[in-house]
């Protein structure tokens, strides 16, 4: 994998990733852009022991542009975009409308530590937000890519995890993709995002507490025991490989939700060995294609989220895994977060996990 770093017209970093060692990336961003201004801040919720990001400047971000105005397509002589090159394989650049910015300016504080600052603590939302374009093809989706491209993307996720995790003040790196207007995507071009958080996120903190309690109670690893139990039960298994297992969790929150675990536990993407990396692309593309066969030809809106250990805490017992889920519950019907989910955090699932797993097995090829 060849990595070429450059600077955009407003000073943001852009990084090209290529499979070819002879790839040359020399195009210059000629746009007249004002510097990015971000007024984001973190506000602390004392009742829930969580930070909330306030990023009002994002109200003006680009929203569902026409295909001929897409900022993620390669540049042409007639139109300059976020990507100065006329073509690319995978490219990553700093978001022009970031929720978090200024990573590395000063050390962060752990989310579990109640901050000082009176009754309404707040601090700058230091961190970094990156956009990752998977393909130059505007109408392509991740599922349309080759296993080789999926492998390159995995290697890029890994590189960004290492790079961002090394920045002072960064506590956790989160790689994810949102697909579909129903999810809230504002740019239809196939892309993902990478967040470098200045705190451990609430979901990860909850998993770390659970694994620590389980270790104290049993002396074993909770992730290992869940994976072993799912493989032994089999009713929720969707697909298995030599190095990965895909299953619907027994307490799935979403109508169709699949967790993809490496069979050998590692804390984050940097820990995957070559065998697991080689097998990932085929298995992941298979899952995405199964999702798109579920709803009579309707593309499945989905979120694909890498769960990784924090940079400095909770790493010993944490297990890297991918969580893939759709909010579509049936053709023409979406799963909305209604009163119980949004108001109380209690999910009510419309599809039994065993039924979802059976359906996902049926639509395999």
Extract the runs of DSSP E, i.e. beta strands, from the chain: 2-7, 13-18, 41-45, 50-54, 90-94, 122-124, 128-133, 172-179, 191-197, 237-240, 244-247, 256-262, 302-307, 321-326, 328-330, 333-334
Which sign, positive or negative, has the C-alpha torsion 275, 277, 281, 284?
Answer: positive
| Residue of 57, 138, 189, 191 with catalytic role | 191
Extract the runs of DSSP E, i.e. beta strands, from 187-263: 191-197, 237-240, 244-247, 256-262
Residue 124 contacts residue 42 (beta carbons within 8 Å): yes
Please state whether 34 falls in left (phi above 0), alpha (psi between -120 and 50) or beta.
Answer: beta
DSSP state of 130: E
Between the CA atoms of 26, 129, 148 and 239, what dihedral angle is there, to the nearest 10 degrees? 180
Q: Residue 60 and residue 321: Cα distance in Å, rounded?
A: 34
Can you tell me which residue has the tokens 């510097």? 35
Q: Is 63 a catalytic residue?
A: no
Which sign, positive or negative, has the C-alpha torsion 227, 231, 237, 238?
Answer: positive
**What angle, 0 to 180 degrees and rounded to 10, lies between the N-to-C axes of helices 147-165 and 274-292?**
120
Query: Would you name the residues annotated as active-site residues?
Result: 191
């Amino acid at each position: 994998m060849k990595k070429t770093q450059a600077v955009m017209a407003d000073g943001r970093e852009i990084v090209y990733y290529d499979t070819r060692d002879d790839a040359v990336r020399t195009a210059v961003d000629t746009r007249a852009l004002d510097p990015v201004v971000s007024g984001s801040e973190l506000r602390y919720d004392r009742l829930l022991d969580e930070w909330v990001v306030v990023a009002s400047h994002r109200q003006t971000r680009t929203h569902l542009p026409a295909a001929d105005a897409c900022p993620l397509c390669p540049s042409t002589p007639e139109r300059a975009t976020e990507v100065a090159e006329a073509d690319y394989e995978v490219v990553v650049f700093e978001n022009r409308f970031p929720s978090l910015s200024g990573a590395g300016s000063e050390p962060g504080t752990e989310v579990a530590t109640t901050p000082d600052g009176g009754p309404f603590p707040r601090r700058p939302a230091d961190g970094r937000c990156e956009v990752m374009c998977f393909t130059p093809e505007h109408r392509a989706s991740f599922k349309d890519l080759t296993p080789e491209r999926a492998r390159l993307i995995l290697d890029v996720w890994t590189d960004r995890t290492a790079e961002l995790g090394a920045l002072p003040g960064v506590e956790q790196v989160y790689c994810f993709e949102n697909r579909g207007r129903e999810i809230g995507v504002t740019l239809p071009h196939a892309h993902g995002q990478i967040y470098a958080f200045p705190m451990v996120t609430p979901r990860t903190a909850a998993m770390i507490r659970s694994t620590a309690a389980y270790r104290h109670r049993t002396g074993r690893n909770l992730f290992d025991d869940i994976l072993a139990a799912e493989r032994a039960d089999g009713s929720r298994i969707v697909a298995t490989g030599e190095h990965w297992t895909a299953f619907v969790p027994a307490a799935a929150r979403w109508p169709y939700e699949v967790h993809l675990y490496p069979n050998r536990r590692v804390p984050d993407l940097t820990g995957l060995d070559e065998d697991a990396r080689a097998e990932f692309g085929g298995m992941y593309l298979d899952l995405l294609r199964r999702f798109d066969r579920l709803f009579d030809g309707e593309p499945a809106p989905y979120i694909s989220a890498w769960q990784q250990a924090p940079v400095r805490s909770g790493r010993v017992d944490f297990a890297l895994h991918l969580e893939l889920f759709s909010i579509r519950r049936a053709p023409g019907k979406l799963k909305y977060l209604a009163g119980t989910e949004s108001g109380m955090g209690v999910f009510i699932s419309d599809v039994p996990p065993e039924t979802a797993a059976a359906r996902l097995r049926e639509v395999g090829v």
